Amino acid sequence: MGHRDHRRASWRTLSSLLVAIAILSAGPAAWPGASGDTLTFAADMAKRGNWREALYRWERIARDKPGNSRILNNLAVAHEALGEPEIAYDYYARAVELSPGDKRIESNQLRFERFWSRISELNDDGEVEERSAEHTAQPAADPGKGKGKVSRVTVELPVPPRLDTTGFRTVLVAKFLADQTELVDVPNEMVRFMRSKLRKDPDLELLSVVPAPEVPEQTLEDLVKNGEFWKYLGREYGADLIVSGMVKYDQKDHSGFEDVDRVDPTTGQKVRESEFVEQEQFTYTVDLIFMGGASGDPVYQDRMQRSSVYRGNNNDPVTAFHDLSDSLAADVMAIVEPRTREVDRFIFKK
């Protein structure tokens, strides 16, 4: 075969491949099957997390069946999963209106409204109620009777950060107020902890100021109101955002009698006895404040607390401090970084 013939054959092969790809990429109209097949396929895509593909299929069906509540429900779930709650709200409302009493659609709408209302409250006033928002409205274990076969899917919903850092480029960690204790160097340990967490935020430049700037010995309330001080720090170090607060860390005896199960060496039977157990409790409380470097005003406040009990009476307070600090890491990062929350929703396959 000559060079020209070989090139023609190559072009024919390429053309065949392009045609095959076009056929495989065609929408539902090119499929041999009814919309039920498309629904099953779309539901499978949704369960795999391919929500854009599922949305495309459901939108095609909705053009032919604009008043189908099951399709409207599926569209709502897809838009919710894609971070478009405003669109999802309208679809849920229409679906419920068209099929009043369908427990599956109503469950989705109820959980949707509770989840996103908590997120809205969070953005408005900085409350942290959304941590348990999705658990307040569990879906029915039995989706109930009604037309259409359903499938329960896991949806990863975007949760915005508690603090909108838009407009803030640099962040400075100042010293923390703390009660005097010989257990741990609490102020400096807290500074190191906050720096290690904020350094992970790609949208904020952490200012490496060593040692961390001291803060006035005031009550937390007065410290928050001391706008001139925060503006001074902002000018002095070029900080758009300043993090500080108050930390309390204490240790106390938590010994007492506990019921323990033992095996009787004579009878081999398990018996319950009460014995005195030596234990220590460490409690860690931090009041975080995020201050605007230009305005001197608070932009976010939160209180976090952790407590843990350790066996024995000679536990290392430094180790306990770091254990409790690490347990706060996710909550601290949630202030400045978006997250996702896994929730359950019902979609229709038939």
For range 171-180, the mean pLDDT: 92
CA neighbor of 236 nearest in space, from 199, 207, 205: 207
Between CA 217 and CA 226 the distance in angstroms is 11
pLDDT of residue 147: 55
- Residue 66 inside a domain? The answer is yes
* Shared domain check, 323 and 176: yes
pLDDT over 60 (residue 146)? no
Choose among 189, 232, 173: nearest CA to 323. 189
**Per-residue pLDDT band at 133 (split at 50, 70, 90):** very low
CATH number at 117 reads: 1.25.40.10
pLDDT for the residue 262: 79
199-210 pLDDT, tens digit each: 988 889 999 899
| One domain for residues 320 and 179 | yes
Residue with the larger pLDDT of the pair 181 and 32: 181
Report the alpha-carbon distance of residue 226 to residue 220 in Å, rounded.
10
pLDDT confidence of residue 38:
86
Residue that wins the pLDDT comparison between 148 and 296: 296
Same domain as 307, residue 188:
yes
**pLDDT, tens digit, 9 for 90 and up, residues 72-94:** 999 999 999 998 999 999 999 99
In terms of residue numbers, what domain contains 311? 170-338
Query: Looking at per-residue confidence, does 147 or 329 come out higher?
Result: 329
Residue 50 has pLDDT above 80, yes or no: yes
Across the range 129-134, mean pLDDT stands at 34
What is the arithmetic mean of pLDDT over 111-123?
A: 77
Q: pLDDT by residue (tens digit) across 235-291? A: 999 999 999 999 999 989 988 888 878 787 888 788 888 888 899 999 989 999 999
pLDDT at 81: 92
Q: Number of folded domains in the chain?
A: 2
> Of the ranges 62-66, 184-188, 208-212, which is most confident?
208-212
Residue 101 lies in a domain: yes
262, part of any domain: yes
| Residue at 237 is within a domain | yes
Run of H or E residues at 111 = helix 103-125
> Which residues touch 293 (CB under 8 Å, ≥6 apart)?
170, 172, 230, 231, 233, 234, 235, 238, 239, 240, 241, 242
Do 43 and 192 fall within a single domain?
Answer: no
Residues 6+ apart with CB under 8 A from 125: none
* CATH code, domain carrying 235: 3.40.50
Residues 228 and 324 in one domain: yes
In this structure, the answer to whether residues 155 and 245 fall within a common structural domain is no
